Amino acid sequence: MQDKSIFIAGPCVIESQELLDTVAEKLVKINKDLGVEIIFKASFDKANRTSISSFRGPGLERGLQMLSKVKEKFGLKLLTDIHESHQAQAVGEVVDVLQIPAFLCRQTDLLIAAAKTGKTVNIKKAQFLSGQDMRYPVEKAKEAGAKEVWLTERGNAFGYNNLVVDFRNIPDMREIVDTVIMDCTHSVQRPGGSNGKTGGDRKFVPSMALAAKAFGASGYFFEVHPTPDLGLSDAANMLQLDNLEPLIAELIK
């Protein structure tokens, strides 16, 4: 019997078609081995990097072409994030889930544009909001016509260069929407805490996932990479690709 949990995984940013194919091939294998469905995630533009010199990705047009190749070759559903409302229509023609970044979750025009695509909208909870506060972004998306809205927990700012997760946000947000995802990799970040880059510690990723399960999460978001320390974005936080399957197996037991 297929597990009903939602799994989202992929590299933080599109670095190359080869990387996308390597990760997608692994996700297809996990889907077959464990009877789950993993939605493939990668960003075409990381518009919120700490430094102006940080790698951002291939951009909208080239990035969507590369994601389309993943869907055509591997048959995976796709998720990617948008940062500006004018991106929504083009992205909605390619992906299955449009993601609203945490820092932008109150941007009305962005939420409306995403909703109007008719695709699922995944809104990440801002680092400065409570779970209960997320009813207002959801209302904006639904009033603009969104048929399905998800919420994602990713921690709250705690002092400088650190995040803390209040897992009570998960049941609080499940009172607002049916689907609440735990972002298990971004929640272990230390924002801006690594000399002009975001640091973090991936060893806590499995614990974040298991704790979220105990609090009733509907699904789990993992950024993964075959060689995460060489990744061009979120290197400290991405899960090693080969460690994804045993973790998902643990979560669906």
> What integer pLDDT is reported at residue 198 of this predicted model?
61
> What integer pLDDT is reported at residue 1 of this predicted model?
46
Nearest in space to 10 (alpha carbons), one of 253, 166, 252, 238: 238
Enumerate residues 6+ apart whose C-beta is below 8 A from 196. 50, 51
> What integer pLDDT is reported at residue 101 of this predicted model?
97
- Count of Cβ atoms closer than 10 Å to residue 250 Cβ: 12
> What integer pLDDT is reported at residue 196 of this predicted model?
55
41-91: pLDDT as tens digits: 999 998 876 677 777 889 999 999 999 999 999 999 999 999 999 999 999
Low-confidence ranges of the chain (pLDDT < 50): 1
Mean of pLDDT over the chain: 93
> What integer pLDDT is reported at residue 197 of this predicted model?
55
